[in-house]
Structure 1
Amino acid sequence: MKKLIKIGIAGVLVLSLLGLAGCGESQSNGTAQKGSNAASEKVLKVGSDIAYAPMEYMNEKQQPEGFEVDLMTAIGEDMGYKVEFQTAAFDGLITSLNAGNYDAVISSMTITEERAKSVQFSDKYFQATQSLAVKQGSPIKSEADLKGRKVAVQVATTGQEVVEKMGITPQKYDTAPDALNDLINGGVEAAVIDSPVVAYFIKQNPSKNIVTVSGNFDKEYYGIAVKKDNKELADKINTSLKKLIDNNKYNEIYKKWFNTDAPKL
């Protein structure tokens, strides 16, 4: 999943997605401040790389949609927040979070020990793994066949890390669709990308003859990131996330995007 951290803050495009509004206060970094009027709301600024369907992407109206958008919005509603999404390149999200540009990040971010040195994660909310995508009829049947092949990954992700650990230097792309489109065009022979993203891409492009083959990849879990010292906000997110899981709202959101019940986390 999206994983590695690089320095540098990308410009952001601010987009608003309304959740259940609070009353008479504005919110940043989990600490309430008095608003200028009674109509002000509590706001949770959330950073995300909104180019990762079906997890998060821009719809035809250039509004964010996807599983993580719905989930974060539901969490915000339960907390009494208006959720404001800001989109930026994945490899700058943690830097921007720690600079105070966001209160939280949700962006298919794998929980890892290395990353946990820089941020505090919520409880896990999604299980995934890497998928090995090839063109139908490819001689590549498993990850063991990738040696000496041109392999595409999204830059700064665990897909990149997995491939590099095999001793392969991958071709890196800014987005997962860029990597998969180059696979279609013959620029690479395989792509190692997050499983839900590959499955969605194949579903949306049935005529492109892209298939997945056996890959022996570990399970990974996504978490919502907040600043290391913001335990108050992390606890609020965890409380709301647990409530959504217990009352079946989480499963409803999962089923909407993946047409199946959510696995037990």
Structure 2
Amino acid sequence: MTSLTTRRFLQTAGLLIAGLVLSACGKQEPPATTAAAPEASAPAAAPAPARTYVVGTDAAYAPFESENETGTIVGFDIDVVKAAADKAGIEVKFVNTPWEGIFNTLQQGDRDFLVSAITITEERKQSMDFTDPYFDARQLIAVKQNSKVAKFDDLKKLKVGVQTGTTGDEVVSKLQGKNSTNIKRFESTPLALKELEAGGVDAVVADNGVISNYVANNPGAKFKSVTDEAFQPEQYGLAVKKGNTELLNTLNKALAEIKADGTYDRIYTQYFGAPPAKPAAAEAPASAASK
């Protein structure tokens, strides 16, 4: 019994050892690995937002700039600048700015540029830069329909309303004397025209676009306009801070583009009933202060 059992034990043990050796020598599969997920691509950088330029304008000078019934600033100047801004790929924000301090806001950097029926003059060019002209203007006289005024000299002894600091103010001051008590100065041309309607002045002198617009849109006032060849032609420009060549070039390029593609003519016709006349030969620049 003992001998047989021992022999079977040894046989069984040998088989077990052989099995373990064969198992150890067999090919082992490498552990399964999980494929790495592809790295997520970085999102494309968003384009930088267009810079918004703050534009100062005295919104009391229809049809060039005024506020509508909702308080939005509208007008010929506004549409011209918007069209130019679209061409230049820039954003603009219009801020109503009183005429008396409008140039200071440019000098102080509170406004990036100005559009406000501003006449280009040699005096102003000393302290600010102007774009190429975008509008030709002249002074015009508004009087009541029964007035006998036929020329500028007829105003010499009459009460005349003007907007402070404008070309109208300057030319009437030269005619009557700067300190003449017959010159009535107002914060805006519409206020001067209201005074004419009320009989407080005999005439108003201001830019032709403003006078013509008021006469056409206020038939109840019973005004007429009188022109005089003695008035020097004027040109409006956008005003930028002295030395801001980059912005000046951007605006000039955009203005040229809207004139070339017909956009300017469409805006002009919308406000003045017909496209602008062909430019005449260059004349001496206005030297007076102007709106």
TM-score per shorter chain, which class? 0.7 to 0.9
Which one of the candidate residues 140, 153, 168 is aligned to 1:144? 153
Distance (whole Å) between structure 1 residues aligned to residue 156 and residue 252 of structure 2: 42
Q: CA deviation at 1:89?
A: 1.0
Q: CA deviation at 1:219?
A: 0.6
Partner of 1:117: 126
Looking at secondary structure, tell me which structure has more helix per residue. Answer: 2
Partner of 2:271: 257
Contact conserved, 2:139 with 2:227, CA < 8 A, in 1?
no
State the AA in 2 paired with 1:186: G
Distance (whole Å) between structure 1 residues aligned to residue 52 and residue 278 of structure 2: 31
User: Equivalent residue of 1:255, what SS?
Assistant: helix
Partner of 1:174: 187
Q: CA deviation at 1:81?
A: 1.3
Ranges in structure 2 where 5+ consecutive residues have no aligned partner: 1-45, 280-291
Partner of 1:201: 214
The percent of aligned pairs where both chains have the same amino acid is 38
User: Equivalent residue of 1:114, what SS?
Assistant: helix
Which one of the candidate residues 193, 199, 223 is aligned to 1:186? 199
Distance (whole Å) between structure 1 residues aligned to residue 47 and residue 111 of structure 2: 21
Q: CA deviation at 1:208?
A: 1.2
Distance (whole Å) between structure 2 residues aligned to residue 192 and residue 88 of structure 1: 22
Contact conserved, 1:45 with 1:85, CA < 8 A, in 2?
yes
Partner of 1:214: 227
Contact conserved, 1:151 with 1:190, CA < 8 A, in 2?
yes
Partner of 1:11: none
Q: CA deviation at 1:113?
A: 0.4
User: Runs (4+) of structure 1 moved beyond 4 Å?
Assistant: none
Distance (whole Å) between structure 2 residues aligned to residue 214 and residue 254 of structure 1: 21
Looking at secondary structure, tell me which structure has more strand per residue. Answer: 1
Distance (whole Å) between structure 2 residues aligned to residue 115 and residue 214 of structure 1: 26
Which one of the candidate residues 104, 108, 121 is aligned to 2:117? 108
Which one of the candidate residues 75, 81, 84 is aligned to 1:72? 81
User: Equivalent residue of 1:177, what SS?
Assistant: helix
Contact conserved, 1:48 with 1:105, CA < 8 A, in 2?
yes
Contact conserved, 1:42 with 1:80, CA < 8 A, in 2?
no
Counting only pairs closer than 5 Å after superposition, residues 29-178 of structure 1 correspond to structure 2 as 40-168=49-177, 169=180, 170-178=183-191
Ranges in structure 1 where 5+ consecutive residues have no aligned partner: 1-22, 26-39
Q: TM-score, normalised by structure 2?
A: 0.77
CA offsets 1:188-231 (integer angstroms, 9 cap, x no match): 00110110001110111112111012323111000000011101
Q: CA deviation at 1:152?
A: 0.4
Aligned residues: 229
State the AA in 2 paired with 1:208: A
Distance (whole Å) between structure 2 residues aligned to residue 134 and residue 66 of structure 1: 24
